[in-house]
Amino acid sequence: MPKRKHVKIHGHRVSYLAEGEGSPVVLIHGVTGTCDQWAPVADLLSERCSVVAPDLLGHGQSAKPRGDYSLGAYASGIRDLMVGLGHERVTVVGHSLGGGIAMQFAYQFPERCQRLVLVASGGLGQEVHPVLRAATLPGSELLLPLIAGAHVYNTGAAVAGLIERAGLRAGPDIAEMVRGYGSLADADTRRAFVHTLRSVVDPMGQRVNATDRLYLAAGMPALIVWGRRDRVIPVSHASVAERGMPGSRLEIFERSGHFPQLDDPLRFSRLLADFVESTDPADLTADSLRERVLAGSPGR
Instruction: Give the C-alpha separation, 146 to 91, whole Å.
Output: 39
Residue 107 lies inside a defined structural domain of this protein: yes
Instruction: Give the C-alpha separation, 204 to 137, whole Å.
Output: 10
The dihedrals phi and psi of 287, each to the nearest 5 degrees, come to: -65, -40
Enter the DSSP assignment of 56: P
Closest CA to 117 of 137, 134, 101, 139: 101
Write out residues in the chain with pLDDT < 70, as ranges: 142-171, 297-300
pLDDT on residue 162: 41
Number of structural domains the chain divides into:
1
pLDDT on residue 14: 98
Residue 277 lies inside a defined structural domain of this protein: yes
pLDDT on residue 289: 76
What pTM value is reported for the model? 0.91
Give the active site residues.
96, 230, 258
**How many other CB atoms are there within 10 angstroms of residue 253's CB atom?**
23
β-strand partners of 3: 18
Closest CA to 92 of 279, 259, 276, 284: 276
Residue 66 lies inside a defined structural domain of this protein: yes
Closest CA to 239 of 249, 253, 254: 249
pLDDT in tens, 252-284: 999 999 999 999 999 999 999 999 999 999 988
pLDDT on residue 197: 94
pLDDT on residue 147: 56
Residue 156 lies inside a defined structural domain of this protein: no
Which amino acid appears at position 275 of this protein? F
pLDDT on residue 170: 46
Return contacts of 290-295, CB within 8 angstroms, 24+ apart: 292/215, 292/216, 292/218, 293/216
The dihedrals phi and psi of 275, each to the nearest 5 degrees, come to: -60, -45
Residue 278 lies inside a defined structural domain of this protein: yes
Rounded percentage of the chain residues whose pLDDT exceeds 90: 70
pLDDT on residue 151: 45
**How many other CB atoms are there within 10 angstroms of residue 70's CB atom?**
17
Enter the DSSP assignment of 246: T
Domain interval for residue 115: 3-126+201-296
Residue 153 lies inside a defined structural domain of this protein: no
- Quickly list H helices, the chain: 39-45, 71-85, 97-108, 130-134, 140-147, 150-165, 171-183, 187-198, 236-244, 260-263, 265-278, 286-296
Helix or strand or coil: residue 166?
coil
The dihedrals phi and psi of 40, each to the nearest 5 degrees, come to: -60, -40
Q: What is the CATH number of the domain that holds 214?
A: 3.40.50.1820
Instruction: Give the C-alpha separation, 178 to 158, whole Å.
Output: 10
Residue 189 lies inside a defined structural domain of this protein: no
Residue 139 lies inside a defined structural domain of this protein: no
